[in-house]
Amino acid sequence: MLGVAAMVGALNGALALGGWVASAPMSQASRADAQPAPEPDPDVLSPPPAFVFDAPLPGRVINSPFGLRQLPWEESGRLHQGVDIAAPAGAAVKVAANGVVKATGVSPTYGRYVLVMHKGGLSTLYAHLARPARGVKRGAYLRRGEIVAFVGNSGRSSGSHLHFEIRKGDKPLNPSFFLGRTFAEADDLPLRAASRVSRKVHKATVSRWPTGMTKAAKRQVELARLKNGQVKATLPVATAPAPADPTASSLSDAAI
């Protein structure tokens, strides 16, 4: 009987000791270990955006927007399929997004150009160039912000500037919806909004006649002017033959 009593007493003592240990205050180190884990940084966990578009001429403004435009020698408006950004000859043009050079060449209307393909079936076109940058040729991979070319006045152009286009397949999109913006995924791209064309016709002015326009053609327009300045006769506009690559079909349209 004494042996059993001793065992019960020992067990009660162990339980009491355990309760005292459990209720004892934690040390500073123990309290630190018990601190809740910090909240995860959402910037660290968020994946990078799928699409990022930079301006090809940072700090320069668009002086001829996307949409219907009528030039001084035209009878009515036609779709200006990109934007014109005024800049001095020789200014460095940067590629707007990561991509692969699809084509470089010379068009009677676009002058020297570079066509770059991007993921999602998008492409960007840089036209009226002085020249492409060194190493920019078909198949070259370009990272966003790399120099792709230099501003010029080649082709049917009325002054030094960059003509810049964005397309989905061969459908022109308004670059103003993309430049300086990021998109988490392809579904976020503003394709529908960027493809809309206002019915308003922008009447453009030029500082000088396009390079290559003959004196006879200029005279034809001057004679056709009315007192209010409206042109009632149109000039034939030379166009480049359609390229073999359907993604470069935009090169068959005149642009200034």
Query: What confidence score (pLDDT) does residue 240 get?
Result: 36
Q: What's the rounded Cα separation, in Å, for the pair 96 and 117?
A: 11
Complete DSSP assignment for 141-181:
EE-TT-EEEEEB--SS-SSSEEEEEEEETTEEE-GGGTTTE
The owner of tokens 């190493």 is 135
Query: What confidence score (pLDDT) does residue 212 get?
Result: 54
pLDDT tens readout for residues 126-139: 999 999 999 999 99
Taking the CA of residue 37 as centre, how many other CA atoms within 13 Å lie in the half-sphere pointing to its CB?
A: 3
Distance of CA 53 to the CA centre of its chain: 3
- If phi over 0 gives left and psi between -120 and 50 gives alpha, with beta otherwise, what is residue 187? alpha
Give all domains of the chain, ordered by start, each with its CATH number. 58-188+196-241 (2.70.70.10)
List of residues 6+ apart from 66 with CB closer than 8 A = 80, 81, 82, 83, 172, 173, 174, 175, 176, 197
Query: What confidence score (pLDDT) does residue 158 get?
Result: 79
Enter the tokens of residue 51. Answer: 């699409």
Is residue 149 within 8 Å of 131, Cβ to Cβ?
yes
Query: What confidence score (pLDDT) does residue 185 get?
Result: 93
Chunked in runs of 10, what are the mean pLDDT values of the chain (256 residues)? 52 48 50 62 74 95 87 75 94 98 95 97 97 97 98 90 96 95 95 91 65 53 47 38 40 47
